[in-house]
Amino acid sequence: MTHTHEDRIADRPQHLCAAYGCPLIGSMSSSTSGSTEWWCFAHFGVQGAQLQAITTELRSLEWLAQAVHDVRFHDKPGTEASRRAFALIEHQLALHQRPDLLWIRPSTEHQGEKRFRWLERLENALKAMLDAAGVLNPSSYQATLPIGGGAPSTFNQVGFDMPM
């Protein structure tokens, strides 16, 4: 049995990004009249093969992508599900040697960090890793720039005939 695009959309939980296989929650849409296609911060505004390249890289960074998902998804602090998710996030961040991304909890020295600020830090770290992998902005790499700098031009690489 083969799956069509409609089947894949129907199988996907509605809170997830519209990019096939993306583990992040969809939070952006270009529609002003209602839409079933919501995109995560990494896929929003992206088209073509870059969609799958981003998803593939997100899957390789599952530990951080899942942390971003869970901080956004578990929006009711103090629940058992939220406590379990946050404990797993802390474990994964420690396992991947990223203590800089741990949630700054309230203590006697400071108020602590709001959840939305923590989510921003996690998303920014994920964006930086996606960018470093070349999937968010592949033209930003010096190796792809022509000698002399500037944006790479594909005009001279494309052959076409114009009527005389």
pTM across the whole model: 0.72
Query: Long-range contacts: 14-20, Cβ < 8 Å, 24+?
Result: 15/73, 17/42, 17/43, 18/43, 19/43, 19/46, 19/51, 19/52, 19/54, 19/55, 20/51, 20/52, 20/55
Task: Please give the chain's pLDDT, 164 residues, in tens.
Answer: 565 655 555 566 778 998 989 999 998 887 777 777 889 999 998 888 899 999 999 999 999 999 999 998 887 778 898 899 999 999 999 999 999 999 988 777 778 888 899 999 999 999 999 999 989 864 443 333 444 444 444 444 444 444 54
